[in-house]
Amino acid sequence: MAAADLPEPLTGQTVKLSEYAAGAPATLVMFICNHCPFVVHLKPAITELAKDYQAKGVKVVAISSNSVETHPQDGPEKMAEDAKAQGYTFPYLFDSTQEVAKAYSAACTPEFYVYDADRKLFYHGQFDNSRPSKYGGDTPVTGEDLRHALDCVLAGKPLGRAVKNSIGCNIKWQPGNAPAWFGG
């Protein structure tokens, strides 16, 4: 897991990622934003999944790294409104420098990372096979892939299946700030 101190717009607190997951059997890190239709499609299910796994001791955190210059709807004030409206039970952090997204090599929203108790990457992939209807999706939202990964890491078992990459909107990089691997 990347070490960083990021602000949580809803509470005004700063969260130290290096300390946040201390002692947890697993940690879920999500790159999301307010506007992406792929994230909007999953928001209720993300809230439900987080509550289910927080009850099992999993630490959950979401990060928005989108440029507020190009996408002001993803700025801290709107993030706080969205977190409250969605009933998020986890910190929704703002990565204004986009350095955390770069440290994770995050490319899109939503994007999901599961770390084990030793903070070693266990899973990096999609929530499930569902997609917004305007993108041809008709598969129900289940969280199957992410739930499977969390269940395996908590049980100390290997993943045992192929990982599917996340699909969504690209992270909106500040002009001139896109990493080289992104084509910037």
pLDDT digits (tens, 9 = 90+) for 21-76: 999 999 999 999 999 999 999 999 999 999 999 999 999 999 999 999 999 999 99
Residues 49 and 90: beta-carbon distance below 8 Å: no
The CATH number assigned to the domain with range 5-182 reads 3.40.30.10
Q: DSSP letter string over 148-173?
A: HHHHHHHHT----SPPPPP-SEEP-P
CA distance 119 to 96: 24
Mean pLDDT of the chain: 93
CA distance 145 to 153: 12
Q: Which of helix, strand or coil describes residue 53?
A: helix
Nearest to 24 by CA among 91, 110, 117: 117
Q: What is the pTM of this model?
A: 0.95
CA distance 46 to 148: 14
For 87, the token pair is 């009933």
pLDDT band at 4 (very low <50, low <70, confident <90, very high): confident
